[in-house]
Structure 1
């Protein structure tokens, strides 16, 4: 035992050397440099580019009617996506570049605000903690969630962090101005309203506040009142400016979206992930009483658990939906590690030689950027690819700019990257036919059981067929890609599970669609897609096929 203690004292004394004082500057330089690269080099986008296209169409039509655009999620994300679209028009840059710029500013504001709350009113040790916590924030909000950068869940995370930290600091006795509290509540509510499933985070944190205060009046703080007011105002805004979402889109989504990308609950938390979380929570419980920032750690732990519950409630299993929970768990681990490090390291190791620190940090940042940039570029250049994405990229090179295209499928995957880059129009109000798996399953179940299909699902099927027919007549897309979801020799269509379904056969049950489809001629196949062009306008199909053989 004496030998162990002697070794520990020796190690600690070494960290008292001047070199130990460079740990924070070096870590800051490396993490900031890598974070800048991660914000500059974006990943492959799917939903993000669809939402940018929707925002552009919304601005062009000056309204959000069912006949123009349909998005199953509430319209706030479309309204927020109008910001980078407008910015792209002002700066004459692409909408994706504008979104990257907006996200960089959002990250900077969220991290700066959160760090200021953590370090406010603290002694020197608390300010050192806030500096380390800033680095943990960059790891949790930029580096780790990079594959899901600018997804709704990523934006939710950035908007919610100030509210969470403000609540923790208020519990610890920090005086917060009413204006700042209202702003944190409004911004946090905007984040939750992007993905209402994550209201469970707010529920868990507010319950913790109530338990600590033991007074129901603690729930009527400025930030919580602002959250409720923002939610009410948002409901009113939808009623005024997007009534079709309430009347048409929401009923359609409620009756069909449950079956889209649905997975079993037990598959959503793999054993290894569940074990890691259990170990982290156990470690937190063991050291909780010894933590200097125990309230902050408790709020982050509850936020992580609430976000995990929100993830499970969606029954989809997408990694990006787990991003908020992952970030909160990362920050919880960061709080524990920082507190332990500051308790263990001597205070004189916290103050570096500033001239030396500046020189070494500058060099470290340059090295971090130089090393991570080519690696990240290579990572972005080789994203997830399947047969459908390969086909989309191959044929996109031969479709002229300004064309109107559409893909009849249960998933367009990353096709809206091409739509935006090549200036195409999209010949549909839907990004994909996400409602068809539920509708086909209901029809098959009714036929198998000799029962009548529920009236709500019959109405949803009629609405879907009518909308696709109207879009075909209105936009007259050429070419049209039809996914062969019925073909057992290729992978099932994304979002439909293992179900095999003939999309054209299902749509042609509507006489109006069958009549409109007579104007189209099948020209051949490109990967998993059948290629159709309007009769007499087949040049683009011939060009695609000539280069696909």
Structure 2
């Protein structure tokens, strides 16, 4: 039975180790490699993400640069190591209920499995947060029930969780709700002496203080761009986010189980998981994008809630003498349930199966053939399929942003006066920055190739927005562009190579 329970884990492993790497994860890895190579974060490399995810990704970037392993395998190895660490700590905290053999067997299989269940979203910030939060949620249940834990594992679980929740400010909704539950359950006097919230708060405060000291441009330049441009790209209303396929499905599981979980007889862990899932739902709604990975923590916490409630119901319904015999079978059933829960409606394994003949796979093959190991100017509104195609070709973009989201933001509305492109004197400060830096960077160090998307992601406004036409109005760009010739076009992308 235990071997049978490993089958879903094998399915998840095959999926996450097969191409493609998640596009956002690949883009962050590429930025970390460029940062390691000497470019300056938030000056030469402009992105909306706070610095922690780039700091963490420096490790696989360094392993990839300094060993024959390569950056993508190094990243996957580091992610698997992080999953193993979090699962190991969580399993230690799951012990202690000797009268619950079914739950013990189920958690011994399900906790490691959940860390791998992100499929295509493996390595996303939401995935990292949920994985690092698992030990903390089990610790919170122990704190509520008055079950002691050693100081080492207590502080370790709190530190891991603080790291995960710090990846995005929206994630703080989860510990806020969980700590409120602990406060109400234990009383203010015992709660105020608890080191867990104080340690997490101290780590968050230290991180907040460190950002303007180490990365002053993030607050001074990047946050205004996020406020003015990024937040308006592809926004959904709160109710539309709740009705997206992945989040809506997760809530259909969570809400009825949440009502059941608050019956006192079910214990503390189900209540903790409900509040964690609700906090993750708030984080998804606040981001108002409706992207699949935003729902991932809700799905992970709801899946764990379902199997914990099922295990506790079996322990209530069966005679004590049968519990040990039923436990292995229950663990296998729970593992397959989590497997189905993870794969149902997901992009994986279909992206992996179709990769070699997909649009993204074709772009990746083109870059491997025509620009392997080269520097490219990428003029595209897309993260996918540009990433991970660049990563697999060991190529680097020369653009200061991951894509042309700044240009999309300033051109969300048609220019005044019937112009297709604004003249430079009519550009906003942000648009002129993009227009000038792309041209100057291109002329100063011409890359080996240019990859241009035919789909600009910008309103048509009488005629199509063409990136080459737009930037060719700058004399430096136009002069340098004369050295390039088209060599291929595939799946809506043009590739031009420099003629030396």
TM-score by length of 2: 0.83
Q: Counterpart in 2 of 1:130?
A: 104
Distance 2:47 2:249 in 1: 36
Residue 85 of structure 1, CA deviation: 2.3
Unaligned runs of 5+ in 1: 1-21, 449-454, 487-492, 538-549
Residue 131 of structure 1, CA deviation: 2.7
Could you say if the C-alpha distance between residues 154 and 211 of structure 1 is closer, same or farther in structure 2, counting changes exceeding 3 Å? Answer: same
Distance 2:496 2:76 in 1: 35
Residue 337 of structure 1, CA deviation: 1.0
Could you say if the C-alpha distance between residues 263 and 505 of structure 1 is closer, same or farther in structure 2, counting changes exceeding 3 Å? Answer: farther
Q: Counterpart in 2 of 1:48?
A: 25
Residue 93 of structure 1, CA deviation: 0.8
Q: Deviations over 1:241-285 (max 9, x none)?
A: 322222222222222111333334443233776376246422442
Residue 440 of structure 1, CA deviation: 0.6
Q: Counterpart in 2 of 1:451?
A: none
Confirm or deny that 1:471 pairs with 2:446. Answer: no
Match of 1:282 among 251, 256, 271: 256
Distance 1:385 1:250 in 2: 39
Instruction: Give the count of matched residue pairs.
Output: 480
Q: Counterpart in 2 of 1:246?
A: 219
Within a 5 Å distance, the mapping from 1:283-432 to structure 2 comes to: 283-286=257-260, 288-289=262-263, 291-293=265-267, 295-351=268-324, 380-383=352-355, 387=359, 389=360, 392-432=363-403
Distance 2:361 2:32 in 1: 27
Q: Counterpart in 2 of 1:80?
A: 56
Q: Counterpart in 1 of 2:38?
A: 61
SS in 2 for 1:476: coil
Distance 2:374 2:250 in 1: 49
Q: CA RMSD in A?
A: 3.7
Residue 423 of structure 1, CA deviation: 2.6
Within a 5 Å distance, the mapping from 1:136-215 to structure 2 comes to: 136-143=110-117, 145-215=118-188
Residue 176 of structure 1, CA deviation: 3.2
Contact (CA 8 Å) 2:89, 2:157: kept in 1 or not? Answer: no
Q: Counterpart in 1 of 2:496?
A: 532
Distance 2:474 2:194 in 1: 55
Contact (CA 8 Å) 1:523, 1:533: kept in 2 or not? Answer: yes
Contact (CA 8 Å) 1:178, 1:222: kept in 2 or not? Answer: no
Match of 2:47 among 65, 71, 77: 71
Could you say if the C-alpha distance between residues 222 and 385 of structure 1 is closer, same or farther in structure 2, counting changes exceeding 3 Å? Answer: farther
Contact (CA 8 Å) 1:110, 1:159: kept in 2 or not? Answer: yes
Distance 1:283 1:160 in 2: 20
Q: Please say which structure displays the higher CA radius of gyration.
A: 1
Could you say if the C-alpha distance between residues 283 and 61 of structure 1 is closer, same or farther in structure 2, counting changes exceeding 3 Å? Answer: closer
Q: Counterpart in 2 of 1:544?
A: none
Distance 2:71 2:488 in 1: 33
SS in 2 for 1:232: helix
Distance 1:412 1:431 in 2: 7
Match of 1:101 among 59, 77, 81: 77
Relative to structure 2, which stretch is displaced further, 460-469 or 103-112?
A: 460-469
Distance 2:392 2:160 in 1: 31
Contact (CA 8 Å) 1:465, 1:513: kept in 2 or not? Answer: no
Relative to structure 2, which stretch is displaced further, 185-194 or 278-287?
A: 278-287
Q: Deviations over 1:165-187 (max 9, x none)?
A: 21121011012344433332222
Could you say if the C-alpha distance between residues 49 and 322 of structure 1 is closer, same or farther in structure 2, counting changes exceeding 3 Å? Answer: same
Distance 2:447 2:249 in 1: 50
Residue 510 of structure 1, CA deviation: 5.2
